[in-house]
Amino acid sequence: MALKLRKNDNVMIIAGKERGTTGKILKVLSEKDRAIIERLNLVKRHTKPRGPQQPGGILEKEASIHVSNLMLMCDRCNAPIRFGHKVLGDGKKVRICRRCGETID
């Protein structure tokens, strides 16, 4: 399945413990249909020391979220939206907001 969300998209989480919060996509894991959102869905990881440059301890890092729990945010509507695709005159395919018609790309 081809993912419709991309890196640097602003999204809102619509399900789970972080429901209602917005953030920017840092990384898309297309083979697992998941995405990592900046400073959201934080988990604690215990790490072993790896020399003087990398001390051990408890680190907080972002965990991935399934893309079905994310909705794209429109800058003009300032709300989570559904989006469609439109082919421009020069043959370029862009995403458009279903609510206001604004291009997202």
Average pLDDT over residues 42-46: 97
Q: What is the pLDDT of residue 73?
A: 96
Structure token digits, residue 74: 């429109």
> Which 3-state string (H, E, C) describes 5-41?
CCCCCEEEECCCCCCCCEEEEEEEECCCCEEEECCCC
Q: What is the pTM of this model?
A: 0.89
Coil/strand/helix, residue 58: strand
Q: How confident is the model at residue 3 (pLDDT cuts 50, 70, 90)?
A: confident
Domains (ranges, CATH) in the chain? 10-48+59-97 (2.30.30.30)
Q: How confident is the model at residue 94 (pLDDT cuts 50, 70, 90)?
A: very high
